[in-house]
Amino acid sequence: MAPRNPQDPGDRRNPWTRPGYIAAATFLGALVILAIILVATSGGGTTHTTQTQASNPSTTTTTTQTSTATTTTVANPGGCTLPPGNQQVPTGAPPQGTTWSQVGAMSVPQAPHTLGPQHATGPWNRCFAHSPSGALLDVINFIGSASSGDPGQVLDHLAVGVPQSLPACDQGGSIDSAAGGPVQLAGYKFDSYTPTNANVVLALKAPKGMLAVALTAVWTDSDWHIQYPQGGCASGSQISSLDGYVPWSAF
């Protein structure tokens, strides 16, 4: 596994924004900065726009939110500008207005203009709404990224509190190993929720049966991030049914 290189999901260490680059080539730097501003204010990309139109017909409202949040974008190095939205914990039914997208080996729910991810750079989905549903989608998308990505890279981009030296469970794809192969979402439940911490348990379909994986999302740097577990590995256990879970699946 490549050595860990901690960095904020908001790309605060993006080399294009370092003063050395701008001073070395003023004209080229100006063009790059202009391109970054155009991308940051575009709302996340062509794919996300298509999905949002299917799940949120109010395109005009979304555009207004994006343009009026320009000041927030400048002050926030991560560029996360989604409104908090509904603060009700979705314990009765899954959040509305989502569509399914492929992330890694999983199908995951997304709502780029309302719940997140607002931005996607390669496999790294980030900027989720500061709400229970936003935290839920962050956790699910994290599992999607981990389903086929290098564990160390996934943690560096999407988690906080990651140690310099990772335990064995984070060096070989522990979820797929315990499940016997690729997993898919089957359901979820909230153990607890506050505006700064969301404790979520996902029920995952797997070749060996259903697996329950508990993760904590923490609100920091204007986005939800996965809290690296104190024990070193995400807790997981086999379950025989979805009793107590809210069923949610793309299949």
Q: What is the mean pLDDT of each run of 10 residues along the chain (251 residues)?
A: 42 42 36 34 36 37 34 51 97 97 94 96 90 98 88 89 74 54 92 98 92 95 92 75 97 86
Helix (H, G, I), strand (E, B) or coil at 111: strand
Q: Detail the DSSP E strand segments found in 87-208.
A: 99-103, 106-110, 119-121, 124-126, 159-160, 184-193, 197-206
Query: Is the overall model pTM greater than 0.85, yes or no?
Result: no
DSSP structure class, residue 161? S
Cα–Cα distance, 29 to 17 (Å, whole number): 9
Residue 148: per-residue pLDDT:
80
Separation CA 81–CA 68 (nearest Å): 10
Question: How far apart (Å, rounded) are the C-alpha atoms in residues 29 and 34?
Answer: 9
Segments in 58-189 forming alpha helices (H): 59-68, 70-75, 132-146, 151-158, 174-179
Burial class (CB in 10 A: 0-12, 13-18, 19+), 106: buried
Q: How far apart are CA 212 and CA 193, in angstroms?
A: 18
Q: What are phi and psi of 32, to 5 degrees?
A: -65, -45
Q: Please enumerate in sequence order all residues whose Cβ is within 8 A of that of 102, keeping only pairs 6 or more positions apart, or say none.
A: 108
How confident is the model at residue 57, as a pLDDT? 36
